Copies of this chain bind each other. A is one copy, B any other.
Amino acid sequence: MPTISDVARVAGVSTATVSRVLNGNTEVDAAMAARVRTAVDQLAYRPSRIARSLRTRRSAVLGLVISDIRNPFFTDMVRGVEDVAFANGYSVVLCNSDENLGKERDYLQLAIAESMAGVILAPASLDETDVSALTGPGIPVVTVDRRAPDPAVDRVLIDNARGARLAVGHLVDQGYRRIACVSGPTTISTGAERLAGYRAVVRSRRLRTGAELIRFADFHEASGRSAMSELLAARQDIDAVFVANNLMTLGALQAVADAGLVIPDDIAVVGFDDMSWAPLLRPPLTTVAQPTYDLGAETARLLLDRINGFTGPGRELVLPPTLRVRASSAPRRER
C-alpha cells in the first residue's frame, strides 16, 4: 500500500503538494500537478480514508438506522439513500434497530466512535428517541419516514394521514360502511398518523365507530394476522378493512383466507405500502403507494446539506402518497 509520501517522492514534490493536487482546494502549478497525477497512477495510490478522517475529524461515512432491512418498504428507501450518498463520495453503514431503543442508542454511539459525517434515522419512538448524543458532537441527523421529538432536526416524511384518508375515503366511496382498521403502534408517528387519518374519515363520513373496529399490532406479519383474526371473530358484520402497513397486510390476508372469506365480496381490503406483487394477488390488492426511493434520496440530500455547512431551523419535507385502486376494493355488492 503506497502512501502519500511514496507519491511525493516519485513525483519529486512535498506531501503537501500531493495533498493539494488530490483535494484540488488550492491552485497548484499545472506541470507539478501532472507529475503528481502520473505518480499516483503509476503507484496505483489510493488515499487512506482512515488517515484523512483522523486528520479532518470527519469520515465520509453516513449511518443509516432503520428498524429492519427485511421490511421491503425500507429497501427502496435504502437504495435512494445509497445512490445519493455514493454519488457524493460517501459510504453508507446500515444498522437495524429492530424498533429497540437500546439498539438505536448503541448505533448512535457507533456513529460518534466512527466520527460519521451524518446519520439518517427512522426513529424507534415518537417521543423517546434521543439524538442529542449526536447533535452535541456536531454530527448532523435527519429523520426519515417517522417523526422524532426534536423539532430542530430535519425530517422527510410521507403524508400518512392523507394516505389513510385516501384509503378509507375510497372504501366509503365504493359503498363500504363498516370499516375496520389494523393499526400500527401509536408510539411510532406513522402508526399514529395513519390511525388519525382513518378516524378522520370515520368521523366526517359518519361511519360506525367504536373500539371493536380497531386492533393494534406491531407492524409485523404475525401480529397483523392475529389482529385481523380477532376483528373477524369479534364483528361478523365488518365489510372492509384498512391495514396500516405492508407486513401486517400480508398477515391480514392470511387471516382472511383462514376464515374462508372472499375478497372483496365478504370483505374489502386496502393496505398501506404498495408492493411489486400486489397486482398479482387474487384479487389484486388496492394499496397506498409511497415514493420510497425519493424518500431516501431526499433525506440523503438534506443530510448532505447539513454536512456541507447548512445551518438553520429544522426543515420538514412531506411527500405525497398515492392510492392505487385494484380489485380488492371493488364496489360493494349487496349480499
A contacts, CB < 8 Å to B: 1, 46-51, 53-54, 59, 61, 68-70, 72, 75-76, 78-79, 82, 86, 91-96, 109-110, 112-115, 137, 221, 250, 253-254, 257, 275-277, 279-282
Point out the residue from B59, B76, B92, B96 that lies within 8 Å of A82, measured CB to CB.
B96
Cα A93 to Cα B54 in complex, Å, equals: 19
Cα A91 to Cα B111 in complex, Å, equals: 10
Measured CB to CB, the closest approach of chain B to A210, in angstroms, equals 29
Q: Contact between B72 and A1 (Cβ–Cβ < 8 Å)?
A: no
| Shortest 3 CB-CB contacts between residues of A and residues of B | A282-B282, A46-B113, A50-B53
Q: Contact between A114 and B93 (Cβ–Cβ < 8 Å)?
A: no
Cα A8 to Cα B257 in complex, Å, equals: 65
- Would you mind naming 19 contact pairs between A and B with Cβ atoms under 8 Å apart? A46-B112, A48-B54, A49-B114, A50-B50, A50-B53, A50-B115, A51-B54, A61-B93, A69-B79, A69-B82, A70-B76, A79-B96, A82-B94, A82-B96, A91-B93, A253-B280, A254-B279, A277-B281, A281-B282
Measured CB to CB, the closest approach of chain B to A282, in angstroms, equals 3
Apart from A82-B95, A277-B277, what 9 extra A-B contacts exist at CB < 8 Å? Answer: A48-B113, A50-B115, A54-B54, A69-B69, A79-B96, A91-B110, A93-B94, A94-B94, A275-B277
Q: Which B residues are in CB contact (< 8 Å) with A53?
A: 50
The copy count of this chain in the complex is 2
Measured CB to CB, the closest approach of chain B to A259, in angstroms, equals 14
Q: Contact between B54 and A50 (Cβ–Cβ < 8 Å)?
A: yes
Q: Which B residues are in CB contact (< 8 Å) with A96?
A: 79, 82
Cα A112 to Cα B47 in complex, Å, equals: 9
Cα A94 to Cα B50 in complex, Å, equals: 18
Give A1's nearest chain B residue, CB to CB.
B137
Point out the residue from B48, B68, B92 that lies within 8 Å of A115, measured CB to CB.
B48
Interface centre among A51, A94, A137 (most CB of B within 10 A): A94
Cα A310 to Cα B276 in complex, Å, equals: 43
Cα A281 to Cα B92 in complex, Å, equals: 35
Measured CB to CB, the closest approach of chain B to A217, in angstroms, equals 16
Give A59's nearest chain B residue, CB to CB.
B50
Q: Which B residues are in CB contact (< 8 Å) with A94?
A: 78, 82, 92-94
Q: Which B residues are in CB contact (< 8 Å) with A49?
A: 113-115
Cα A115 to Cα B48 in complex, Å, equals: 7
Cα A79 to Cα B79 in complex, Å, equals: 15
Cα A227 to Cα B173 in complex, Å, equals: 40
Q: Which B residues are in CB contact (< 8 Å) with A78?
A: 69, 94
Cα A240 to Cα B15 in complex, Å, equals: 66
Q: Which B residues are in CB contact (< 8 Å) with A277?
A: 250, 275, 277, 281
Cα A114 to Cα B61 in complex, Å, equals: 10
Q: Which B residues are in CB contact (< 8 Å) with A72?
A: 72, 75
Q: Given A78-B94, A82-B94, A281-B280, check contact A112 B69 (CB 8 Å).
A: no
